Amino acid sequence: MIKLLIVDDSALMRRQLTLLFQAQGDFEIRQARDGAEAVAENRSFQPDVVTLDINMPQMDGITALSLIMAERPVPVVMVSSLTEKGALATFEALNLGAVDYVAKPGGTISLSIDTIQADLIAKVRGAVRSRPSKARTSSSSARGLGERLREQHAQAAQARASSASQSREGLVLIGVSTGGPRALEEVLPLLPADFPWPVLVAQHMPASFTAPFAARLDSVCALQVVEACRPMPVTPGTIYVGKGGADMVLAKRGSTLTVLPKPESSQHLWHPSVELLGRSALEHVNPQSLVAVLLTGMGNDGAAAFADIKKHGGKTVAESEETAVVFGMPAELIERGGASLVLPIDKIAAQLKAWALR
């Protein structure tokens, strides 16, 4: 049996979630009404996984999460509202050690559960098999570093332009899902202001979350980070985050390589689709110019396309099991023989720099 602690200040929500997981047949469930009760139940019940609401009286979910991870770390799936405020709180929770989140839509509770139940069950089961992480230190120091490095951005851009004819062309693709926001904050801020290649990121995420996430990354990265919410020419030294609720692909407009959002493909389970991004890159970019990185996440999104990138002369990196929150996606790439290198998360930025700046 999987021991599940459900934490929510709404009695109706707790009841609906309890009924949902009881119907699975392999969950032993307890409930908590606020953060203080959650901390106490984590100590006494010792759950295998926790669903944790963010907005609660007495003690909110962020405070409770920080205490839980300090006292008895356990996989936690946050239940977050589909708002910018909810998104920012969710990213803070992921930095504190939460494994994943479920975006709670508006409307009546019963209808909300209906729309998220499959996603919620999958993420709770995935969280049980995950590797909870210790809380990160405050991002304020990283943010200050980003601001200092940004002062060098204009000079670096000029340097890239003057040496463009001497630099080998390249394009970095990054695919990531569960545990991705935190993983990306481990990699992207370490790319220097003179990093010469564009970076395209397909992170499975709801539509209302990707703009705040891109803004958060922009504040800690030396490179400019933007949400690819409209057709944009691909330029060196820019990080493009695929818009949630859509797929991100590469296309040619005249002779200009362009990144653009398109409606979600019904042929793919996860969005923005890493597989579609990889396939479009193979169609429009010399494979030998591609570097494809597959980070933490459930499922196999992107593994087939990235394996083909390696097969046709590109370079690929799979995050190693020792650091991946969920090893599913990188494991699929490795099993297909599609990983040029298998690296822990803290070594990936250095490898990208070595390839790009040699």
Active site residue 8: no
Of 271, 301, 308, 320, the catalytic one is 301
Q: What are phi and psi of 137, to 5 degrees?
A: -70, 165
Report the distance separating Cα 105 and Cα 65, nearest Å.
22
Alpha helices in 188-322 (DSSP H): 207-220, 274-284, 303-311
Task: Enumerate residues 6+ apart whose C-beta is below 8 A from 9.
Answer: 33, 34, 53, 55, 56, 57
Report the distance separating Cα 125 and Cα 328, nearest Å.
13
Active site residue 271: no
Report the distance separating Cα 273 and Cα 244, nearest Å.
10
Residue among 6, 32, 3 nearest 18 (CA): 6
Active site residue 204: yes
Sign of CA dihedral 83, 88, 89, 95: positive
Instruction: Please tell me the total number of residues recorded for the chain in this structure.
Output: 358
Asked if 204 contacts 179 with a C-beta cutoff of 8 angstroms, the reply is no
Q: Phi-psi category of 183—alpha, beta or left, where left has phi over 0 and alpha has psi -120 to 50?
A: alpha
Of 9, 34, 53, 204, the catalytic one is 204
- Cα separation values, 258 from 179, 182, 228, 230, 255, Å: 28, 27, 10, 10, 9
Of 133, 177, 280, 340, the catalytic one is 177
Please report the DSSP string for 96-134 in residue order: HT--EEEEE-SS-HHHHHHHHHHHHHHHHHHHHTS---P
Report the distance separating Cα 287 and Cα 289, nearest Å.
5
Catalytic residues, by residue number, are 177, 204, 301
